[in-house]
Amino acid sequence: MDPMRRSIGIGFSALTALLLTACQHIGQTTASTSWQDRPASAESAYLERFAAVAKAGGYLSYDILKPVQGADARFMTKSDQDSSPISKSAIEKVMNYAGATNSSALLIWHDGELVAERYFGDTKVDSALVSKSLAKPLSAIAIGRAIKMGDIASLDQSASDFITEWRGTPKAKMTIRHVLAMQTGFLEQAFAPGPDNHWARAYMDPYHERYLIHEYPLTDEPGSTYSYSNAAADLIAIIIARATEQSYDEFIGKQVLAPIGAVGGTIWLNRANGFPHSGCCINLPAQSWLKLAILLSENGRVGAEQILPQNFVAEMRKPSVHNLYYGLGVWLGQPYAERRGFMGPKSSAPKVLHSAPYLADDLFLFDGNGNQVAYIIPSEKMVILRLGSSPPKSVVWDNSFLPNTILSEF
């Protein structure tokens, strides 16, 4: 979920000129230079950004977008639906549901084939779609890829091996596993009422990466609690950049998207030539999100190539004692709860309806703001992907409807 009501808009170019004065090379963005040392123009740019978001009712525009290179434009072709064991009536039901709930795309993959694909409104197969928190499982996949390549030793390596400014501080107890599991001990995310709020600064400041390193508060011992925040997820871009000596967007394009045959898109930078976000703010075509989900369904393999460590997906699917529904960047289908939320289990924040238990015990999912979701069902060799915006107020989103409708007639 994104702060400031966690809604995203595209446009808002008036701020670009201000941000151009804050240019820094990627190699400097992860240096130990403090947040307070940023140029004065960065503060005026931040306040301008904050004011624009407040005026827009919480909508944040990605004002500086950088291309993310992936594979050459290779899109899957939908197979002959008559050959699929998934019933036509079930597919029609879920397509109608998607059409009534502000969806941009609905794709169903089964046993190596794209058996259903529909785009809504102006969306096309090559449209780069706003990810929101689907970016979080992507960041977990990036860590797995870096481990496979030998740039990171393990999930239990200290984050301070890369964020060396934390050595000798309480944050040195934070491991990469803690970061992916939302167990950093960082201040939990909530509504940001003013420009000096930690959540707003960590998300919208033109030097947000420095703010995360030097200013974002630790409220609990790392590993002691679940505390959802974009701030935690945005640490991954810093860790990847320092571990691999590549910017996060370059690593995602070359080492994640290209090897799985996924087309690239764009990513939001905090300033011109600045630093990308990893907790949100990457835009990719629907089939690229589908291929990322398929990668996990196939235990980190693409054909004969093991892209992720052999046991990495199993580690992603392990719940923590602090939140039984969250693994490492992914959500777990079991145990059943009628309503589950992104924030901590005891939070009073809104929760998503699940009208019935999932019909597959091994189902796990990408789940982001706007009810953007990828249901991954390894036992059935199936992925169901829905992208789009939140449904109209007259419709209550049911997170179990799409997979259960397909599985009940399968």
Tens of pLDDT, residues 336-358: 999 998 887 778 888 999 999 99
Closest CA to 29 of 288, 249, 195: 249
- Round to whole Å and give the CA distance between 400 and 396: 12
The three-state secondary structure class of 133 is helix
- Round to whole Å and give the CA distance between 314 and 186: 25
**What pLDDT score does 29 carry?**
42
Cβ atoms 306, 148 nearer than 8 A:
yes
Cβ atoms 204, 60 nearer than 8 A:
yes
pLDDT digits (tens, 9 = 90+) for 35-77: 888 898 999 999 999 998 888 877 777 889 999 999 998 898 8
Cβ atoms 107, 286 nearer than 8 A:
yes
Half-sphere exposure of 11 (CA within 13 A, CB side): 6
- Round to whole Å and give the CA distance between 6 and 114: 31
Q: Give the pLDDT band (50/70/90) at residue 370.
A: confident
pLDDT digits (tens, 9 = 90+) for 142-155: 999 999 999 999 99
**What pLDDT score does 246 carry?**
97
pLDDT at 218 over 80: yes
Which residues are within 8 A (CB) of 384 and not within 5 positions of it... i.e. 6 or more apart? 94, 106, 107, 108, 109, 374, 375, 377, 402, 403, 406
pLDDT at 15 over 60: no
Continuous segment of H or E residues that includes residue 41: helix 40-55
Cβ atoms 285, 131 nearer than 8 A:
no
- Round to whole Å and give the CA distance between 365 and 371: 11
Q: Give the pLDDT band (50/70/90) at residue 80.
A: confident
- As beta bridge partners, residue 339 has 353
Rounded to the nearest 10°, the torsion over CA 75, 269, 50, 29 is: 150
**What pLDDT score does 226 carry?**
95
pLDDT at 310 over 70: yes
Angle at the Cα of 248 (from 297 to 159), degrees rounded to 5?
Answer: 85
pLDDT at 286 over 60: yes
pLDDT at 5 over 60: no
Cβ atoms 81, 91 nearer than 8 A:
yes
pLDDT digits (tens, 9 = 90+) for 226-266: 999 999 999 999 999 999 999 999 999 999 999 999 999 99
Angle at the Cα of 49 (from 44 to 52), degrees rounded to 5?
Answer: 125
H helices of 56-157, where?
Answer: 88-99, 135-148
pLDDT at 32 over 70: no
What phi, psi does 31 have (nearest 5°)? -70, 170
pLDDT digits (tens, 9 = 90+) for 117-147: 999 999 999 999 998 899 999 999 999 999 9
**What pLDDT score does 73 carry?**
81
- Round to whole Å and give the CA distance between 134 and 282: 9
Average pLDDT of the segment spanning 89-115? 96
Average pLDDT of the segment spanning 157-168? 97
Which residues are within 8 A (CB) of 371 and not within 5 positions of it... i.e. 6 or more apart? 101, 352, 386, 388, 390, 391, 397, 399
Q: Give the pLDDT band (50/70/90) at residue 192.
A: confident
pLDDT digits (tens, 9 = 90+) for 272-282: 999 999 999 99
**What distance lies between CA 263 and its chain's CA centroid?**
17
Cβ atoms 118, 216 nearer than 8 A:
no
**What pLDDT score does 81 carry?**
60
Q: Give the pLDDT band (50/70/90) at residue 9.
A: very low
- Round to whole Å and give the CA distance between 378 and 204: 37
What percent of the chain is helix, strand and coil (3-state, nearest 5)? Answer: 35, 20, 45
